[in-house]
Every structure is written in C-alpha cells, then in structure tokens.
Copies of this chain bind each other. A is one copy, B any other.
Amino acid sequence: MPVNLPLPNPSELFPIAGVRIGVAEAGIRKANRKDLTVVLLDEGASVAGVFTQNRFCAAPVQVCREHLAAGRGIRAMVVNTGNANAGTGHEGLARARSTCAALARQLGLAPEQVLPFSTGVIMEPLPHDRIEAGLPAALGDAREDNWSRAAEGIMTTDTVPKAFGTQVVIGGVTVSVTGISKGAGMIRPNMATMLGYMATDARVSQAVMQQLAHELAEGSFNRVTVDGDTSTNDSFVVIASNKAAHAAIDALDSVDGQKLKAAMLEVARKLAQAIVRDGEGATKFITVRVQGGRTAEECRLVAYAIAHSPLVKTAFYASDPNLGRILAAVGYAGIADLDQSKIDLYLDDVHVAVQGGRNPSYREDDGQRVMRQSEITVRVALGRGMAEDVVWTCDFSHDYVSINADYRS
C-alpha cells in the first residue's frame, strides 16, 4: 500500500505531440505481464539523459551514453523489465546493442538513434531474443495517449503505476509536460533514478536540454532514497518534442526557460516522491529538511545519514518517538567540526531538542502525535550557516525485509 499516492489521473496525462508509446507482453521473466515498452519520437526532438554513477553500471546505461554522445538524433527508446542486464560483461553489451539494432531495423533508423533501458534482476543474461520477438506488438500499440500504459509497462516491485503531468503557458502557447517513473527498491539515485521519463512538446534547444535534465534530477530524483542502494541502472530521460509554436528556449535562465523548468520540476518531484511513497514496504513518507549548514553539501550529508539510518527508519515504522536516534545520525553524518550544542531538532511543529539536548518543554505525547501521521517532516537546524537542503524517504518495515528476502525466489 503506497503512502498517499493516488492512481494516475488520466485527465492529467497530457499526450505529447511527437511522442508515441507502445506496450507489449514479451514474457521476459514472467508470463502475462506488460514488460516491454517502446517510445517513438518524431524527427527533431531534443533528448537528454542522466544516468547512474554506480561504477557497476548496466550494459544499457553504457549504450545509452554512447548513443547520446553519437549525436545522430534520438528517435526511439526500448525499455524492458524482468532483467537489468547488469553484471553481464561483454555479452550484456552485445545483447543491448542487438536490441537497439532490431528496433532500428523495423523503424528504418540507425542503431545509434535508439536508447535501451533494462530493469530487474542483476547478473542474469538478458533474454534479448524474447525482447526482439515482442517489438512488433509494442510498435503496433504505439500512440500518443498511452502514458498510463507505459507507467504500467515499466513497473517491477512497484505496487502502483506512477505518472503525472502539468501544463504551462510559454510565449502565449500552452505546452504540456508528462512523465512516468518506477521504483521501488535499490533506490538512492545518484544522478537519476531507476527509470524516469518525461516529455514536453515545448521547443527547447539540445544545448539547454542536457542542463535541464541535470537540474531536474538534482531537484527531484537525486533527493530521494528508499534503502540507500544506488542502482546499476538508474536512468532519467527528458524529451522535448519541439512541436509547440512558441519561440525556442535557448537559455535555461530566460523567463520561458525558468517557467518550463518550474513546470517540469513539479512533475519530476511528484514522480520522484511517488517512488518513495511506493518504496518497498513503506508505510510513511518522511521529509528530512536540514537547515543552517555552511553548504548545501553538508546539509545533504546530514539529511542522508538520517534518511538511511535503519534505527531511525524502524522508529518511524513503529510510530515511536525514539528521537535520540535522529541526533545520533546527525552526529555521525561526517561533519568533522559539528558543535552539538548548536543543534535543534523539530518534528513537524514540535520542537524536540534545543542546543543539543532535550527541549525542557518537549512532551513525548506531542512527539507521539506527529509520529503517528503518515507524512512527517524532520527538521534539523545546524546553527552553522545559511545553507539548506531536503531529502525525501520512507520508513523501514517488516514488509521491506519480506519483499527483498523473497524478490527472486
């Protein structure tokens, strides 16, 4: 049961002109499951991606980087679930390339115009023959109003599909933004998350597109964590189909650039938070906000220490205001000259700790009241400077253990 995460709202999933999506059942790991998705782009789209910083990055991630660098214009993407094609060596690379070539042949493209994505079990050979056999069905399904099915097509241990959209007026023209994402374990994105895709019909130059992809990831997917495990396959791709009639955006800090970025960030953040809300075993959605740091980096160190602590996460699961565990995590986060006597801790509106000690007016009943909620904000004030940052995470439950002890078996 995800935390306060409604099913996708069809009226919000705006078709994006020039972006068609098809989904099929290819039997990659299990039968009767939508496990293959293709995305077809009209000529002229601007496409940028950010990918995992895991050094054990998957074969499709390596191929995506090559094909984006080739600069021949991306025209198609192919996504499979059930197998991550990671830890598969040279053979894995060959299979990812074979999949691209097969799709390129059917569309009359060069293989470098296709981006491959895989998600699922690591260190097992990709059944590329089944993927290639499933391509005609996926292509036959392709249409612009298919985002909801695509959100289903990329799910693994997710319990619900994740899709959001919004619209914004740029230069008098209404442009649309629609995106999908998936989780739900091995989630501590470092550049991007395990599969997030967003598209807009806005006109954006290719040069701006890469910057936009990075900034969106930094403000959304790169601020969520479920279990601290950075995946081998994290991929976040942003597409501008350039079909809208406004003047092209060729600087991100222009008025139009900022408007588009704000609209896309709204969707990206919802998609990223949706992964946490549907995190494996999650029962609560936790916002960790750290303020008063010298730099945003040190605020993030502290926020991640809290968000990754199994003791903090199990206390949230139990609704137990055992809040000293949060102070302990602040202390070991890695700020060498941290002064504990300057630290304050808040749980929503409840002032728990003052100057490193329990607030004399703090009452456990107040902590208990907040801990019982399904959405909680932890706020730490470091008393060192003006910087701040935020991380979103979930609690740690029996179901997390069950899901990950049983995932493959």
In contact, B89 and A229 (Cβ under 8 angstroms): no
A331: B residues at CB distance < 8 A: 54-57, 230, 232
In contact, B401 and A314 (Cβ under 8 angstroms): yes
- Using known A-B contacts A56-B356, A324-B84, determine if residue A405 contacts B310 with beta carbons closer than 8 Å: no
The chain B residue with its CB closest to the CB of A281 is: B401
Distance of A336 Cα from B343 Cα, bound (Å): 33
Min CB distance, A378 to chain B, in Å? Answer: 14
Min CB distance, A150 to chain B, in Å? Answer: 25
A376: B residues at CB distance < 8 A: none
In contact, A328 and B231 (Cβ under 8 angstroms): yes
Q: Is A353 an interface residue (CB 8 A)?
A: yes
Determine the main DSSP class of A at the interface with B. loop
Q: Which listed residue (B86, B339, B353, B402) contacts A398, Cβ 8 A?
A: B402
Query: What 0/1 readout, one digit per residue, does chain A (71-115) give for beta carbons within 8 Å of chain B?
Result: 000000000000010111111100000000000000000000000
The chain B residue with its CB closest to the CB of A408 is: B322
Distance of A341 Cα from B311 Cα, bound (Å): 36
In contact, B55 and A340 (Cβ under 8 angstroms): yes
In contact, B123 and A308 (Cβ under 8 angstroms): no
In contact, A123 and B358 (Cβ under 8 angstroms): yes
- Using known A-B contacts A125-B358, A229-B309, determine if residue A314 contacts B90 with beta carbons closer than 8 Å: no
In contact, B56 and A330 (Cβ under 8 angstroms): yes
- Using known A-B contacts A125-B358, A338-B55, determine if residue A328 contacts B404 with beta carbons closer than 8 Å: no
In contact, A314 and B123 (Cβ under 8 angstroms): no
Q: Is A121 an interface residue (CB 8 A)?
A: yes
In contact, A358 and B229 (Cβ under 8 angstroms): no
Q: Which listed residue (B122, B322, B324) contacts A86, Cβ 8 A?
A: B324
A89: B residues at CB distance < 8 A: 341, 355-358
A186: B residues at CB distance < 8 A: 311, 325, 328
Q: Which listed residue (B123, B185, B309) contacts A324, Cβ 8 A?
A: B123
Query: What 0/1 readout, one digit per residue, does chain A (309-328) give for beta carbons within 8 Å of chain B?
Result: 11100110110101111011
A407: B residues at CB distance < 8 A: 320, 322
Min CB distance, A102 to chain B, in Å? Answer: 22
In contact, A409 and B56 (Cβ under 8 angstroms): no
A322: B residues at CB distance < 8 A: 121-122, 407-408
Min CB distance, A126 to chain B, in Å? Answer: 11
Query: What 0/1 readout, one digit per residue, does chain A (191-208) give for beta carbons within 8 Å of chain B?
Result: 000000000000000000
The contact sample of 24 A-B pairs, CB cut-off 8 A, is A56-B331, A56-B356, A57-B340, A84-B324, A86-B324, A87-B328, A123-B324, A123-B357, A123-B358, A124-B324, A125-B358, A186-B328, A229-B311, A229-B325, A229-B332, A231-B328, A310-B310, A310-B404, A311-B404, A315-B405, A320-B405, A322-B408, A396-B401, A398-B402
Residues of A bordering B, CB below 8 Å: 53-57, 84, 86-92, 121-125, 185-186, 188, 190, 227-232, 308-311, 314-315, 317-318, 320, 322-325, 327-333, 335-336, 338-341, 343, 353, 355-358, 396-398, 400-402, 404-409
Known contacts A87-B358, A89-B355, A232-B331; 4 further A-B pairs (Cβ under 8 A): A54-B332, A57-B340, A186-B328, A317-B405
